[in-house]
Amino acid sequence: MLLENIRRLCSKKPVSIARLERETGISNGTIARWDTSSPTVENVQKVAEFFGVTVDELLASNASAE
C-alpha cells in the first residue's frame, strides 16, 4: 500500500523513485524494498514532505489517484 502510493505520487509529479531517494537522502534501492520490509518513521516523513502530503495520507489504503 505505501509503495503503491509512492509510485502513484511519483507518476503524478513526475519523478523517479531513484530521484526521490537522492533528493530525500534515502539510500539507493531502499524505497523499492518497502514492499517487503518496514520503513523507518524518519524516511516516511521525508517522503511525505517531498510530496507535500501528510504521513497519514501517504499510508492511507484509500489514497486518491488524482
CB 43 within 8 A of CB 30: yes
Over residues 12-21, the pLDDT tens digits come to 999 999 999 9
Question: Per-residue pLDDT for 49 more than 50?
Answer: yes
Total count of residues recorded for the chain: 66
Alpha helices (H) along the chain: 2-12, 17-24, 41-51, 55-59
Q: Residue 24 belongs to what domain range?
A: 2-59
Q: What is the pLDDT of residue 63?
A: 56
Q: What is the pLDDT of residue 66?
A: 46
Q: Is residue 37 part of a domain?
A: yes
What's the pTM?
A: 0.88
Query: Which CATH number characterizes residue 12's domain?
Result: 1.10.260.40
Residue 50 belongs to a domain:
yes
Number of domains in the chain: 1
Per-chain mean pLDDT for the chain: 93
The C-alpha cell 537522502 sits at: 25
Q: Report if residue 66 sits inside a domain.
A: no
Q: What is d(CA 61, CA 64) in angstroms, rounded to the nearest whole number?
A: 9
pLDDT tier at 61 (50, 70, 90 boundaries)? confident
